[in-house]
Amino acid sequence: MKQPQSRVKAVEWRGDACHLLDQTQIPGREAYLECRHYREVVSAIRCLAVRGAPAIGVAGAFAVVLAAQAACDQKDPQGFFEEALTEIREARPTAVNLSWAVERMRGVAQSTGQDPKALLDEARALHEQDIQFNLDIARYGLELFDRKISVGTYCNTGDLATGGIGTAFGLIHGAYLNDRIKHVYTCETRPVLQGLRLTAWELYKNEIPFTAICDNMAASLMAAGRIEAIFLGADRIAANGDAANKIGTYALAVAAKYHGIPFYVVAPSSTFDLSLASGTEIPIEQRDAKEILAVLGENTPPEPWPVYNPAFDVTPHALITGIVCERGILRAPYVESIRSALG
């Protein structure tokens, strides 16, 4: 099996700081943010300078390290640290990887007395684990192909969204290297254009044949037989297999179901939230109206217009052909397969 390699690093610890690739500036330029205080990481997560469920989990872990360092200079180190953890955890509410990482780091803090070195070791271990999960996902993904096909994807799930080669993008990249994929269609992903700005950039850098399309073009390409399977990520998966992902995913799943096209969700085990019985319990982040109105450029409305801007929607498990994680390919009935895989 030919194994894909990461071309960029969305998040890493270098020296004594957390370095984040500023994704708000891609594809125009590659610029890094050097974060030496946990609030700088929180700000980067909120403004989407770093994004993607696994990547913000890794970034959140490094933010906890910075919080522990800052707590050493406070009159109430424990109180400061706990408040910082809450702030980090709540930077974005839908992607469960962030809260999962914070709680994992909290456990280490409790057992080591908030030792920054022990916390940094754990954050690095968490990062390395995500890298390995990505590779395992790509390996399992090859089992889904019995011929060479063209596929569609949505939002961004590659190097920029994870600690390694990516989830759905890593699977697609691995399948392409092993002659299972001939072309990739990436939806633009309104309103912030993660597909057009980020996924197209990653496809270009990795020399994978692709075409960027508007979100409302995908169904017609399915009807024409030009998109033969869909692979995309998730920010939280409930115990029954319902999956929250970037807004617009649900519509894509409905179109895929109508056209008889396999629809796969690809995510690591850290994205599953077994405390939630179904997707109706997943909190959905609401974002600023400016993200939608920005498409007007300078042609702004005479007064602020009412805008509905949820960052995510939930795809019911009945529309999902399979869920690929580092432990294998899960299929319906998802309550049983998820419980069996995650223990």
Within-domain flag for 159? yes
- This prediction's pTM: 0.96
Q: Mark whether 243 and 338 lie in a shared domain.
A: yes
pLDDT along the chain (343 residues), means of 10: 91 97 97 98 98 98 98 95 98 97 97 96 98 98 97 98 98 98 98 98 97 98 98 98 98 98 98 98 96 90 92 98 98 98 91
- Torsion angle of alpha carbons 43, 46, 51, 56, nearest 10°? 70
The β-bridge relationship of strands 181-187 and 149-153 is: parallel
Q: Which residues contact 123 (CB under 8 A, 6 or more apart)?
A: 13, 58, 61, 62, 64, 65, 105
Q: Mark whether 311 and 192 lie in a shared domain.
A: yes
Q: Mark whether 153 and 223 lie in a shared domain.
A: yes
Q: In terms of Cα–Cα distance, which of 316, 311, 240, 247 is closest to 276?
A: 240
Q: Which residues contact 239 (CB under 8 A, 6 or more apart)?
A: 272, 273, 274, 275, 276, 277, 278, 335, 338, 339
Query: Could you tell me the CATH number of the domain that includes residue 275?
Result: 3.40.50.10470
Within-domain flag for 5? no
Q: Mark whether 130 and 140 lie in a shared domain.
A: no
Among 101, 134, 167, identify where a domain stops: 134
For residue 300, the model assigns a pLDDT of 85
Within-domain flag for 1? no
Among 71, 102, 134, identify where a domain stops: 134
Task: Tell me the catalytic residues.
Answer: 235
Q: Mark whether 77 and 40 lie in a shared domain.
A: yes
Segment 57-101, tens digit of pLDDT: 999 999 999 999 999 999 999 999 999 999 999 999 999 999 999
Within-domain flag for 16? yes
Q: Mark whether 120 and 148 lie in a shared domain.
A: no
Q: In terms of Cα–Cα distance, which of 207, 196, 246 is closest to 28?
A: 196
For residue 167, the model assigns a pLDDT of 98
Q: Mark whether 148 and 28 lie in a shared domain.
A: no
Segment 138-190, tens digit of pLDDT: 999 999 999 999 999 999 999 999 999 999 999 999 999 999 999 999 999 99
For residue 14, the model assigns a pLDDT of 96
Full residue range of the structural domain in which residue 217 is found: 136-342
Q: Mark whether 166 and 189 lie in a shared domain.
A: yes
Among 134, 152, 178, identify where a domain stops: 134
Overall domain count for the chain = 2
Within-domain flag for 153? yes
For residue 236, the model assigns a pLDDT of 98
Answer for the pair 87, 42: CB distance below 8 angstroms, yes or no: yes
For residue 212, the model assigns a pLDDT of 98
For residue 343, the model assigns a pLDDT of 81
